[in-house]
Structure 1
Amino acid sequence: MRVLELGTLIAGPFAGRLLGDMGADVIKIEDPKRPDPLRTWGQGEKDGHRFFWTVHARNKRCVTLDLRSADGQGLFRRLVAESDVVVENFRPGTLEGWGLGYDELAAVNPRIVLARVSGYGQTGPKAGRAGYASVAEAESGLRHLNGYPGQAPPRLALSLGDSLAGMFAVQGILAALVSRERTGRGQVVDVALTESCLAIQESVIPDYDAAGVVRGPSGTRLEGIAPSNLYRTGDDMWIVIAANQDTVFRRLCAAMDRPELADDMRFADHLARGVHQDELDDLIGAWASQWKLADLLEHLASAGVVAGPVNTVAEVAADEQFRARGMLVEHHDERTGSEVLGPGVVPVLAGTPGGVRRAGAPVAGYDNAAVWGDLLGLTEQQQAELKDAGTI
């Protein structure tokens, strides 16, 4: 499958990355004068480079093209004729303003799938507004569920709404490609940041609609789900113990040398434990505080109790499970000339596994010759003229 990726920053490029990880030929198109700002994002820096781009632009060929120009629009249509999917995350109406809306693209290639990621979707009273993940998380109610009661709701230190939208875009693209095999025609995949954040909120809406419950933040636990919380160990570390299922709770009680707790009316089933959550957390917290983290993890694992440490990235990078599963992968970063560790490919496919074939292209237009020359057949002279005109 050939995918044309338009747009910048996170949601659209993340969708492109996921498709590229699974083997798609992803061609990322950047404006010649305004390359993707993601090239300069990331908190870590080495030799003047940052590393967000290394991961999110991996497995992509990068070309430059001015979609605002007539020549650029013509070249894009030629690319569409040779492609399967277009991913864009502009404000709704942008492609139409360039004469590159779905109807125009489908006239060139009826099989094209156009995935459109925006703040609020392509329709509705807010469709024309710009949207960012932080606002989408807030407006969808997702941010309200985070943090502690009575405090300002914090964000996760990631662009969660963008990543969710990118994942839903890929889900929609794959469904549209399956449909295309039956119908012979592509379609529009319409993904909103706000709706992506709303979609993962489990029973929040029916809890409100049917029972009048306005769910709110619950700190380190979920209200009514017990035990499933953070507990501090004797060596001042944090452990998550999740034993909220009846069978697992009984194992935890045995591991605590308190088997009678499993038959205590306060804790005997899911609903009772939810009512007496504070008491249960106190009991487990007092017990956990007598252990060193490593010893407690081993003890609980041997007892069949679900538990894990709260790792920093340093501990994640050394984790033997992630290493064994290929979830920590070297990327050859041509900007620094070094190998840079990054996340592996999810999910793991047994027959056709994905992989990291290359890191993000070091400069905008890095693959111009391969795409404009080899794919579309433009001569070197034609490419030089288009470059001088600012088209590529």
Structure 2
Amino acid sequence: MSVLKGCRILDLGIITAGAATSAILADLGAEVIKVESPTYRDPFRLWPNGAPEAQADLPPLFRATNRNKSAISLDLKQAEGREVMLRLVAASDVVVENFRRGVLPKLGLAFETLRAANDKIILASVSSQGETGPDAAHVSYGSTLEAVAGFAWGTGYADDGPMVSGRDVNYPDQVAAIFAAGMITTALRSVRNGGPAVHLDLSQRDLTSFLIGEAFLSTSMGETTRQDGNAQAPFVLQDCFKAADGLWVAASIRRDDVKALCGLLGLTPAPTQAALRSALGAHIAAHGGKAAAHGLQAIGLAAAPVLDGAGMVELQDESWSYAIQCFEDRRVKGFPFQIEEEPLTIERPAPSVGADTAAILASIAGYGESEIAALAKAGIIETGPA
């Protein structure tokens, strides 16, 4: 992939929001350098078990958000480390970070400093709640972001508490990464057309709220809750039903579907919702999940089996083509989109700590062997096996 060939990204991102942003840019062909510290690694190297990394078995979360990258280990808390970083900034196009607000300026790497080193630099700050405002410095996780952004307000069931999507979905981080990558590529176009350096402020809270903004309009009409579980207007019936083989089937029944469904279930033309639910549940429970879903689809209804990971893998090249990929004899997270003429590919696995430190300092920052050795001896940098 060469869409972003020739673009160099310095990736200070950790966990999902920052690291996944630069992973998309790497998939698009950008040269992405993951910057970690000898004293602080990306926490995803230890998730979910908290055990030290083994390169042969890096956690799936880390592999997914750091493939196609090289890696350098550099102590930004030391003046010599900041000097190295600024030499890299001078030779790069973008810096991506998702630290807590205030961390980058405390490191001596505020946007003004980066711009002084490179008047065409793009700083992409992906943060929980934006660069400014009373909540900017608050500690946040996906769960609290879903709460404060209004996302959790519409989940769960009536008379029950809100539900958050949890770490495995991590909605605010996942959507932020996709939108951030789009904003960065737009900013790159602007800068390459003669525009000035850019500081992008990407708030996960704002984005999450924006994506469900229409739902908030109902509050002006006195509505205070949206907790309907799987039910949703205008569907007569929408829910998940368990099949004979233990597979669940999701079905969304419109008013126009009722006649055809009644014919299949042997019901009178105008059943109550309770009768319709009971009959549909009994029908699905008497069949295997896939057969039940196919039978409902055959009469024009929206129905589908609820697939787990194994079920998804079985449908490769049938229901999806690029969401999951095979790399080095294992299945890995793929791409959110594809370009037919020049397909996105995974060229290299996620790097070990400092795997490319010496090579990067020599080829990009212009350090000699003796200088690199001195930096390593002083603990400013860390080198690791490539």
TM-score where L is the length of structure 1: 0.84
Question: 1:149 is aligned with what amino acid?
Answer: A
Q: Distance in 2 between matches of 1:252 and 1:386?
A: 74
Call closer, same or farther: CA 1:44–1:131 in 2, change over 3 Å: closer
- Match of 1:129, SS state, is coil
User: Deviation of residue 18 (structure 1)?
Assistant: 1.6
Aligned-partner residue type, residue 212 of structure 2: Q
Output the CA distance in 2 between the equivalents of 1:65 and 1:317: 39
Q: What is the deviation of 1:149?
A: 2.0
Question: Residue in 1 aligned with 2:100?
Answer: 91
Tell me the alpha carbon deviations over residues 59-86 of structure 1, each in whole angstroms, 9 at most, x when there is no partner: 1111111111212111111211222211
Q: 1:353 maps to which residue?
A: 343
Counterpart pick for 2:153 among 144, 147, 151: 144
AA of the residue aligned to 2:369:
E
The one-letter code sitting in structure 2 at the alignment partner of 1:307 is: A
Query: What are the within-5 Å matches in structure 2 for residues 107-146 of structure 1?
Result: 107-146=116-155
- Other-structure match for 2:280: 284
Indicate the residue corresponding to 2:44 in structure 1.
38
* Contact 1:251 1:305 (8 Å CA) reproduced: no
One-letter identity of the residue aligned with 2:341? G
Distance 2:100 2:259 in 1: 52
Q: Is the 8 A contact 2:172 2:204 kept in 1?
A: yes
Sequence identity percentage:
28
Q: Counterparts of 2:26 and 2:118 in 1: how far apart (Å)?
A: 21
Residue number among 234, 238, 241 corresponding to 1:231 in the alignment: 241
The 3 A distance-change label for structure 1 pair 280 and 23 is: farther
Correspondence for 1:373? 362
Q: Structure 2: how far apart are the matches of 1:252 and 1:93?
A: 60
**Counterpart position of 1:27:** 33
Q: CA deviation at 1:24?
A: 1.5
Q: Which residue of 2 aligns with 1:314?
A: 310
| Cα drift, residue 238 of structure 1 | 1.1
2:230 to 217, 220, 231: 220
Contact 1:133 1:193 in 2 (8 A): no
Number of residue pairs matched by the alignment: 370
Q: In the alignment, what sits opposite 1:294? A: 290
Displacement of 1:327 in angstroms is: 3.3
In 1, are the aligned partners of 2:265 and 2:280 still within 8 Å (CA)? Answer: no
Partner of 1:171: 182
Q: Secondary structure at the match of 2:353?
A: coil
1:327-374: CA deviations, max 9, x gaps?
332333xxxxxx33112122011223211112211x210011221122
Q: Is the CA contact 1:102–1:114 (under 8 Å) kept in the aligned structure 2?
A: yes
What amino acid maps onto 1:238 in structure 2?
A: W
Gap change, CA 1:202 and 1:260, over 3 Å in 2? farther
**Do the aligned residues in 2 keep the contact of 1:72 with 1:391 (CA within 8 Å)?**
yes
Q: Matches of 1:75 and 1:251 in 2, distance apart?
A: 71
The one-character-per-residue Cα deviations of 1:39-60 (angstroms, maximum 9, x if unpaired) are 0113699987533212111111
Distance 1:230 1:300 in 2: 13
Aligned to 2:4: none
Shift of 1:236: 3.9
Partner SS, residue 317 of structure 2 = helix
Structure 2 equivalent of residue 2 of structure 1: 8
Matched, 1:343 2:333: yes
Structure 2: how far apart are the matches of 1:44 and 1:319? 33
Asked if 2 retains the 8 angstrom alpha-carbon contact of 1:224 and 1:277, the reply is no
Pair 1:66 & 2:75 matched: yes
Deviations 1:279-329 (A, max 9, x none): 654453344334322222333344443321111212222223368614332
Over aligned residues, Cα RMSD in angstroms?
2.8
8 Å contact kept, 2:143–2:165: no
TM value normalised by structure 2: 0.86
In 2, distance between residues paired with 1:166 and 1:182? 24
CA-CA distance at 1:23 after TM superposition: 1.6
SS at match of 1:229: strand
Find out whether 1:12 has 2:18 as its counterpart.
yes
- The 8 Å contact of residues 154 and 225 in structure 2, kept in 1 or not, is answered as yes
Question: Is 2:230 the counterpart of 1:191?
Answer: no
Structure 1 residue 4: Cα displacement: 1.0
How far, CA to CA, are the matches of 1:240 and 1:383 in structure 2?
59
Following TM superposition, by how much is the alpha carbon of 1:185 offset from its aligned partner in structure 2, in angstroms?
A: 2.1
Q: 1:364 and 2:349 equivalent?
A: no
Change (3 A) 1:367 1:207: same
Distance 1:348 1:26 in 2: 19
Structure 1: tracts of 5 or more residues without a match? 267-275, 333-338
Structure 1 stretch displaced more, 89-98 or 297-306: 297-306
Please, which runs of 5 or more residues in structure 2 have no aligned partner?
1-6, 382-386
Q: How does 1:375-390 map to 2 (within 5 A)?
A: 375-390=364-379
Contact kept in structure 2, 1:4 and 1:28, CA below 8 Å: yes
